[in-house]
Amino acid sequence: MNETHGFFQITQKLFLRNQNSILILRDRKSGHGDLPGGRINEPEFFGDWLEGLKRELREELGENIQYDIEPQPIFFARHRVVEGKYPCLIVAYEGKFLGGDIQLSNEHDYMEWVDRETYNPEPLFKKHLLFAVSSYLQNPAFRGIL
């Protein structure tokens, strides 16, 4: 049997909580739902991955927000990066919004705090990221980690 080794990107996504709500975004290019976070850069791979996630949060949400991130991932999921259609491993974290003004980057054109109990991600989120968001919303173990 001839097997081909795969090459995959790693992306970190944050379920950012504000009391009983989570922050959702919409990707400007695809029009699909997204969460704060993004790909780990090659130099970050052998360092502290949370530093890469914090870099992404600064880029996507601005310099003026405060948050607390639970350092242990809450789960892993598959994803396909829209641009280039690369297979990707999502490392999901949960965080608590502490304050500040969110300033969206040009990567996203919409944001909303949605209720964790009642939000239906299906209209906005697609495929693998839909699975990840649905898994988070439906799992009572993720309610109140922080």
pLDDT in tens, 25-73: 999 999 999 999 999 999 999 999 999 999 999 999 999 999 999 999 9
Percent of the chain, pLDDT > 90?
Answer: 75
Q: Which residues pair with 38 in a beta bridge?
A: 12
Q: How large is the C-alpha radius of gyration of the chain?
A: 15
Q: What is the pTM of this model?
A: 0.90
Higher pLDDT, 45 or 82: 45
Q: How many residues does the chain have?
A: 146
DSSP string for 75-120: EEEEEE-TTT--EEEEEEEEEEEEE------TTEEEEEEEETTT--
Lowest mean pLDDT of 1-5, 21-25, 35-39, 119-123, name the range: 1-5
Residue 81 predicted with pLDDT over 90: no
